[in-house]
Structure 1
Amino acid sequence: MRKKLLLLLSLGWIFNYAHRMAIPPLIPIIKAELGINNAQAGLLMTSLLLPYALIQVPAGYLGDRFGRKKLVVVSILGYSFASAFIIFAKDYWELLTIRALYGIFAGLYYAPATALISDIYKEKKGSALGVFMVGPPIGSGIAPLIVVPIALTLEWRYSFLILSIMSAIIGIALLISIKGEVHEIKHARLKIPKHVIGLSIMNFIGLAAFFGMLTFLPDFFVNKGRSLGEASLYFSILSIVGIIGSLTGGVIYDKLKKKSLLLSLSFNTVLSFLLAKTALPLIVPILGLFFYSVGPIVTAYTAEQATDENKGAVMGFVNMMGFFGATLGPYLLGILIDNLSYEKAFYSIPLMYLIALSIIGIEKRNVIRT
């Protein structure tokens, strides 16, 4: 039962990301049709990430209070139907509104799902969450492979309808095949301990860098003279290689604990700088190994900062702070691109990773002293 649940939760997370990351490879097409600039294109990510962030703590508490599996099913079916409405979007503002609706339902997923996995797998939570966190790289990797051919053959809005049908099937399978609640909490508590503040700030900065990179990476390569198809391929390679990074990150966390986070942030700093400087496609697969390793490491570490009664709330709070950063990242990077060159704007990404690394490094020394 544990393996079936982990599989279905991971599939739901994969499509959660496929829906949100369907926008980046379509940005050149959407900008041309709707006549928007890069900052407005960045808002197409911000519009879903802001409500996504705001719903995190309530989602964690509601999952603890009323049932984590139940809330996960509501999330999958909700974000599937919401994303399907994009087929009716006639202009930029309608598209922005629908993406915000999608963000609300998508935001109900992470906290209850990760809390449930950490409770079930206990001492093996890092490895299990490493499997779960293949959602971002796989979801991001398959997104352009699905949406770009549909957009070029039919029309880009139909891409979201196809994705919605696929993800709704996962939600129905989870509802039918896993009976009842797997792990119930007797006394749910909405309590956020002070010692997770540093981790939350680090996650804010790290996810700002992460989503800024993901949002504009295809357009970055197009600007450097690559075709849309080639740029989409690089985007997919980053994410597909990231599957290995996610799985490895979870396993390494079980062995190295917090040191694994320092190593991952260090490599992301160096590699994102080299990509901004050279735009060499060869850097992309190497970056993918470390780019996606941060997710399972942060998730497993966060789970260890909470008790059974407030685990959902803590997971939600750290993720909420991260997605406040993710909300700002694409928009601010879009502004930098509009006012600077792509290369200069992309230097902000390694800078953010360096700041995140510094925060965790300082926090580590403080922990040792105490």
Structure 2
Amino acid sequence: MNHAAQLDTSAAPAPNKADIDEAPLGRTLVAVGFLVLTLSYMINAMDRQVLPPLLPNIREEYGFSLEQGGLLATNFTLGMALAGLPAGYLLDRFRRKTVLLVSIVIYSLGTMATPLASGFADMTAYRVLSGFGEGMQSAAIFAAVGAYFARRRGLAFGIIGAGYSLGVFISPLIGVRLMNTHGSWHSPFYLFGAAGLVIAAIAVFAVKTGLTERSVEQVVSSRTYEYMPESPYNRNTIALAVHSIVSGVAIYGFIGLYPTFLITSLHFTPAQAALAMSFLGFGGMLAIFGGWLGDRVNQRNLLILSLLACSVISVCIYQLHGGVGWQCLLAFLMGVFGLGFLYPNTNSAIQRAVRPEQIGRASGLFVTSYYGTAAFSGLIFATLVENFGWRQAGLLQVTLLPLAGVLAMTFVRTSRFNNAVR
């Protein structure tokens, strides 16, 4: 479906909007601010994905079971889910930039605290704390970018998603290299946490409120939205939320234990597993194309095709196995469709399913639904592996589960999106 030429609006996030510069930002300031936001989301991804390739060493040091390791690999998403709806509430009432800066500090401190854990309980707490900050940041970034780049929301989300995928790409390589160099898995957590604090300090000056706080007073639009549901929790958003839950469980279950699968089942070295994991992030960089495409075609159909593609790729990964080159190719394709197509288009679609002033709540709903059950996806996957083996576990969670998302997407009506051609 072609994107209608209109400007979207966001809820007024700051009660003291008089302090916000009403003058339009120049292209340079917008570009610099957008770059810093993208870099901050890249560090977000590095913090999230540093643990999976190091998990075998962490399990050995602490004596964690596979189920405990699987939970640690994905339980940060519980914090993200807990942050989603509260962040949506805050974003509709306070400055997005403030929420953004606080969130970066929270997840950076949580990441730096992880190596200080004495056991499973406090490591879990640090991971959930980190996820809480990451969830706040996700909601803040996508609410701000979704409002400012309303005409090209999908493309803008795709660029942010490419930054995230770049973080997924380099995090395993840097993490394993640092672990091998220093003989400890601790140093990557300290490095990535410190990088987050640095980017937060840069964002104070480089990210202007004119970029993050676009509100109804700053956007003139003659478009009306009477054809859309009044509630942000409508047929479209509920169907997209169900799809988000399914996608989160399938994709994060895969990401969280993919390196462990390669090492324990296919007998890859940690460096080979990290290389394959990096190709997942490399594929996710096509989020720029995926987001651009989502602005120009029917997003419901694009999401359905992406889910089906993930199912097919999963069959190849867990049933056909193959060597390092084969797994790198398949990981790349999973990154293309799982990170590059599903993530930015689900995120932008759920914002298009609500009226412009409800963007903050839509962003929070996406974070909660996508990451809520994903927190337990690693545990679920590990339990399936223990009971049925890798082949059957992959079939159940990463191959068949996305088909439930396809079913949910059949209830979506893009004719009631806020970018529908009327």
TM-score when normalising by structure 1: 0.93
C-alpha displacement of 1:94: 2.1
1:283 is matched with which residue? 330
Aligned residue in 2 for 1:210: 251
2:401 to 352, 355, 361: 352
Give the equivalent residue in structure 2 for 1:89. 117
Contact (CA 8 Å) 1:83, 1:164: kept in 2 or not? yes
Structure with the larger helix share: 1
Give the deviation of 1:119 after TM superposition: 1.0
* Partners of 1:216 and 1:184 in 2: CA distance: 40
**Counterparts of 2:83 and 2:332, CA distance in 1:** 33
Identity %: 25
CA–CA separation in structure 2 for the residues paired with 1:6 and 1:279: 40
The answer on 1:242 being equivalent to 2:284 is yes
Structure 1 equivalent of residue 4 of structure 2: none
> Counterparts in 2 of 1:251-330, with a 5 A limit?
251-258=292-299, 259-280=301-322, 281=327, 282-292=329-339, 293-330=341-378
Deviations 1:279-328 (A, max 9, x none): 23242223322121111111111111123322111111122011112112
Partner of 2:151: 123
**In the aligned structure 1, how far is the partner of 2:375 from the partner of 2:356?**
29
1:139-187: per-residue Cα shift (whole Å, max 9, x none)? 2211111111112222111210011111221111111123445325479
Equivalent of 1:47, from 68, 75, 79? 75
Q: Which whole-Å CA distance do the structure 2 matches of 1:309 and 1:363 have between them? A: 21
Q: Deviations over 1:317-354 (max 9, x none)?
A: 12201111211211100111122211111112111111
| Matched-pair contact (CA < 8 Å) for 2:75–2:374 | no
SS in 2 for 1:170: helix
Q: Counterpart amino acid of 1:269?
A: S
Superposed, which structure 2 residues align to 1:1-370 within 5 Å?
1-154=29-182, 155-180=184-209, 182=211, 183-185=213-215, 192-195=232-235, 196-222=237-263, 223-244=265-286, 246-258=287-299, 259-280=301-322, 281=327, 282-292=329-339, 293-348=341-396, 349-363=398-412
| Alpha-carbon distance, 1:362 to partner | 4.2
Aligned match of 2:15: none
Instruction: Give the deviation of 1:108 after TM superposition.
Output: 0.9
Are the counterparts in 1 of residues 47 and 111 from structure 2 also a CA contact under 8 Å? Answer: yes
1:19-76 CA-partner distances (Å, limit 9, x unpaired):
1111100111011111111110122134321121011011122122111111111111
- Hey, what's the Cα distance between the residues in 2 that align with 1:135 and 1:285? 16
Provide, for residues 251-275 of structure 1, a one-character-per-residue CA deviation record: whole Å limited to 9, x for no partner. Answer: 1101103222122112111111221
1 CA distance for matches of 2:34 and 2:123? 33
The CA deviation at 1:18 is 0.9
Cα pair distance change 1:313/1:365, threshold 3 Å: closer
Q: CA deviation at 1:220?
A: 1.0
How far apart are 1:121 and its partner, in Å?
A: 0.9
Measured after TM superposition, the shift of residue 366 of structure 1 is 11
Q: 2:74, 2:383 → 1: CA distance? A: 13
| Distance in structure 2 (CA, Å) of the matches to 1:179 and 1:4 | 9
| Contact in 2 for aligned 1:206/1:325 (Cα 8 Å) | no
Measure, in 2, the Cα distance between the counterparts of 1:354 and 1:199: 14
Q: Indicate how the Cα distance of structure 1 residues 149 and 116 shifts in structure 2: closer, same or farther if over 3 A, else same.
A: same
Q: Is the 8 A contact 2:246 2:402 kept in 1?
A: yes
Give the count of matched residue pairs.
Answer: 365
**Counterparts of 2:74 and 2:128 in 1: how far apart (Å)?**
8
Q: Calculate the aligned-residue CA RMSD, in Å.
A: 2.1
In the aligned structure 1, how far is the partner of 2:298 from the partner of 2:33? 25
Deviation, 1:78, is: 1.9
Q: Find the structure with the greater CA-based Rg.
A: 2
Which 5+ residue runs of structure 1 have no aligned equivalent? none
Instruction: Tell me the residue number matched to 2:17.
Output: none
Query: Unpaired segments of 5 or more residues in structure 2?
Result: 1-28, 218-229, 417-422
**Cα pair 2:84 2:139 within 8 Å, conserved:** yes
Change (3 A) 1:287 1:83: closer
CA shift for structure 1 position 241: 2.1
Shift of 1:217: 0.7
- The alpha carbon displacement at 1:2 in A equals 2.4
